[in-house]
């Protein structure tokens, strides 16, 4: 007897065949052929299942061709197709099915919009998502908690945090999914402070964070150096609640400790993980690199190649960056060749930047230019020229710097940071007329140099200092103590580096101008407020200047205190008059 092809029962032969086929296209096409040759009319439920599986197997165009054969298509059919498309690698097809759904005069459901908004988030399709938001309002689903959650996720992913927060604040009930989406939106868009504040609000409302929340929060702590909170998360939630330290949470914890200056603790956590993946290995290698411990980074990389997973593109960025900061030119060359020939990875722009930085920092400026000509197809990006321009500044090759600056400004004429760097280079070369011309351009365009600040945390309270800052209640004591320190380190051999200060100033004025930089004030405050033997940790938003770097080296020697400064690019561990970067940064 011929099987009942029209049956929608999960026990029917065709349903059994569909379940067995899964996401494999060949048996699905065979089932389709059986339906075609059958004299019976298959029902909508069976075809919905078939089309959904075909989309999930990666053939949405095939499903679109079969769609007209479905008798009396309904909202459930289109919801299934839209959801399957949004979860596939081709989410754009979900929008096509939505248009077909509207043309069939079918009313969308809340599930329609949750899937469509996911597709728009994955596609970073901001304008389409905004249009869908209007459709949500028109369909009356603006108060549906599932749709609201999808809207928060969408706006957060595309970086429109203002609208994401408005939708979030309107929600009468918020699930941990939606809290995570909003916190992650802040963290992913460089607003780690806002992410941390929202976590505190989450606690106030009695919402228990899950492992995803903690991983996002640890990443936010990494961005802004919030070691106290990161450590509390480890002790209170992970250890206190005996959470399993899987690779995601474990990697986040490794990254937090490394980026907050505790590289030894990061290694301890890394070694204690039950399992490792490429993310955890890469986090630890990157941690060593940013602290200037290039040899440890390369030793761990060697171990990873022997016993760990295959390194990926991000791993090689960490490795090449570590080599660049450690002056390990030959090892960097070998790693770059290895990623291409041993692992079949195609270098991206960030790897090219690392290699140019590697050669440039080491003073091999001609080799850096040769690398650009030989290895980069097409016009190099601005980041490549910026790395080389910085190297020219470091090694005082002003003629080459001027040539590179011309290329850079042609690529990004509206980027104020390029003008600041160029101004500094001309100042070092003593070309004050040119400096003044650059300043006039910046003033005419309303650009200002980014204000530098240094942050120090003492007893879980953060203190911020800016150059010449006098807002701290202990300002008088801080300035007096800093003057004493300057006298002590002068006796130990410190001579101020005033090259970077305006050349029209007299030498004595230049020394005063650099004496009260934010990092010096923060160090003086930290030494005043902490006991002997306490480690001082500073976070600087810009690159530490040459004079502050030299002064803090001497301060660490005369006070016997270890001082760690995390600047825009890396960590500097000052101890006994030396720095972990070996004056190579």
Helix, strand, coil shares, percent, the chain, to 5: 65, 5, 30
Confidence class for position 22, pLDDT limits 50, 70, 90: low
The DSSP bridge pattern shows strands 578-579 and 536-540 to be unpaired
Residue 360 CA to residue 395 CA, distance in Å, equals 9
Residue 5 CA to residue 200 CA, distance in Å, equals 57
In a domain, 278, yes or no: no
194: Cβ contacts below 8 Å, ≥ 6 apart: 161, 186
pLDDT over 90 percentage in the chain? 53
Provide the pLDDT for residue 330: 96
Domain that holds residue 466: 453-579
In a domain, 543, yes or no: yes
Distances (CA, A) of 29 to 41, 69, 256, 365, 459: 17, 15, 50, 60, 67
Provide the pLDDT for residue 506: 44
In a domain, 161, yes or no: no
Residue 367 CA to residue 358 CA, distance in Å, equals 10
The residue whose two tokens read 């492992």 is 211
In a domain, 265, yes or no: no
In a domain, 533, yes or no: yes
Q: Which of 248-257, 437-446, 498-507 has the highest mean pLDDT?
A: 248-257
Arithmetic mean of pLDDT, 34-57: 70
Q: Is 2 a residue whose pLDDT tops 60?
A: no
Provide the pLDDT for residue 215: 95
Provide the pLDDT for residue 121: 92
Using one digit for the tens of pLDDT, what is the confidence trace for 179-214? 999 999 999 998 999 999 999 999 999 999 999 999
Residue 64 CA to residue 284 CA, distance in Å, equals 47
Q: Is 426 a residue whose pLDDT tops 50?
A: yes
Average pLDDT, the chain: 86
Distance of CA 142 to the CA centre of its chain: 32
Provide the pLDDT for residue 30: 66
Minimum mean pLDDT range among 29-33, 88-92, 438-442: 29-33
In a domain, 281, yes or no: no
Provide the pLDDT for residue 4: 45
Higher-scoring residue by pLDDT: 486, 423:
486
Give me the sheet containing 461-466, strands edge to edge: 461-466, 453-458, 536-540, 563-566, 571-575, 578-579
Residue 450 CA to residue 409 CA, distance in Å, equals 19
Contact yes or no for 186/192 (Cβ under 8 A):
yes
Higher-scoring residue by pLDDT: 251, 6:
251
CB-based burial of residue 229 (10 Å sphere; 0-12 exposed, 13-18 middle, 19+ buried)? Answer: buried
Distances (CA, A) of 151 to 146, 171, 499: 9, 11, 53
Q: Which of 69-73, 83-87, 420-424, 508-512 has the highest mean pLDDT?
A: 83-87
In a domain, 354, yes or no: no
Minimum mean pLDDT range among 47-61, 239-253, 522-536: 47-61
Nearest Cα residue to 53 out of 89, 74, 29, 34 = 29
In a domain, 226, yes or no: no
Minimum mean pLDDT range among 50-59, 256-265, 449-458: 50-59
Using one digit for the tens of pLDDT, what is the confidence trace for 92-141? 888 888 998 998 888 999 999 999 999 999 988 999 999 999 999 999 99
**Could you give the number of structural domains in the chain?**
1
Using one digit for the tens of pLDDT, what is the confidence trace for 477-502? 999 999 999 999 999 999 988 765 54
Q: Is 386 a residue whose pLDDT tops 80?
A: yes
Arithmetic mean of pLDDT, 70-76: 84
Contact yes or no for 28/57 (Cβ under 8 A):
yes
Residue 251 CA to residue 273 CA, distance in Å, equals 9
């Amino acid at each position: 007897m011929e099987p009942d092809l029209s049956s929608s029962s999960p026990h029917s032969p065709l349903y059994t065949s569909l379940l067995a086929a899964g996401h494999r296209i060949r048996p699905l096409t065979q089932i389709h052929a059986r339906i075609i040759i059958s004299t019976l009319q298959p029902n909508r439920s069976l075809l919905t299942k078939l089309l959904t599986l075909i989309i999930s197997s990666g053939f949405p165009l095939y499903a679109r061709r079969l769609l007209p054969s479905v008798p009396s298509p309904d909202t459930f059919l289109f919801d299934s197709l839209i959801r399957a498309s949004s979860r596939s690698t081709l989410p754009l097809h979900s929008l096509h099915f939505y248009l077909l759904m509207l043309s069939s005069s079918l009313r969308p459901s809340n599930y329609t919009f949750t899937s469509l908004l996911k597709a728009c988030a994955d596609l970073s399709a901001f304008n389409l998502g905004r249009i869908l938001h209007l459709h949500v309002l028109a369909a009356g689903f603006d108060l549906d908690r599932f749709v609201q959650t999808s809207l928060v996720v969408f706006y957060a992913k595309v970086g429109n945090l203002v609208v994401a927060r408005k939708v979030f604040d309107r929600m009468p009930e918020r699930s941990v999914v939606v809290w995570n989406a909003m916190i992650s939106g802040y963290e992913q868009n460089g607003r780690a402070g806002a992410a941390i504040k929202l976590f505190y609000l989450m606690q106030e409302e009695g919402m228990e964070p899950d492992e995803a929340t903690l991983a996002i929060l640890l990443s936010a702590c990494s961005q802004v150096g919030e070691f106290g909170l990161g450590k509390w998360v480890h002790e209170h939630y992970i250890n206190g609640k005996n959470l399993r330290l899987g690779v995601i949470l474990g990697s986040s914890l490794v990254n937090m400790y490394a980026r907050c200056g505790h590289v030894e603790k990061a290694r301890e956590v890394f070694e204690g993980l039950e399992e490792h993946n490429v993310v955890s290995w890469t986090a630890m290698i990157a941690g060593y690199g940013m602290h200037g411990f290039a040899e440890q980074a390369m030793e761990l990389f060697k171990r990873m190649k022997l016993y760990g997973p295959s390194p990926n593109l991000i791993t090689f960025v960490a490795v090449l960056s570590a080599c660049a900061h450690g002056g390990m030119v030959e090892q960097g060359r070998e790693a770059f060749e290895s990623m291409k020939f041993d692992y079949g990875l195609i270098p991206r722009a960030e790897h090219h930047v690392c290699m140019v930085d590697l050669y440039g920092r080491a003073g091999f400026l001609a080799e850096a230019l040769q690398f650009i000509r030989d290895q980069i197809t097409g016009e190099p990006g601005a980041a490549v020229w910026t790395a080389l321009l910085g190297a020219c500044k470091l090694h005082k090759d002003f003629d080459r710097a001027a040539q590179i600056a011309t290329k850079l400004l042609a690529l990004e004429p509206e980027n104020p940071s390029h003008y600041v760097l160029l101004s500094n280079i001309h100042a070092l070369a003593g070309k004050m007329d040119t400096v003044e011309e650059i300043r006039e351009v910046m003033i005419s365009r309303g650009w200002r140099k980014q204000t530098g600040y240094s942050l120090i945390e003492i007893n879980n309270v953060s203190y911020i200092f800016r150059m010449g800052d006098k807002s701290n209640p202990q300002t008088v004591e801080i300035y007096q103590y800093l003057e004493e320190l300057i006298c002590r380190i002068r006796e130990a051999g410190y001579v101020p580096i005033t090259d970077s200060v305006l050349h029209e100033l007299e030498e004595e004025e230049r020394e005063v101008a650099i004496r009260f930089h934010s990092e010096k004030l923060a160090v003086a405050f930290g030494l005043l407020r902490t006991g002997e033997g306490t480690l001082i940790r500073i976070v600087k938003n810009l690159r530490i200047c040459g004079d502050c770097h030299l002064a803090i080296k001497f301060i660490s020697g005369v006070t016997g205190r270890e001082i760690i400064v995390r600047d825009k690019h890396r960590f500097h561990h000052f101890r006994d008059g030396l720095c972990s970067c070996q004056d190579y940064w």
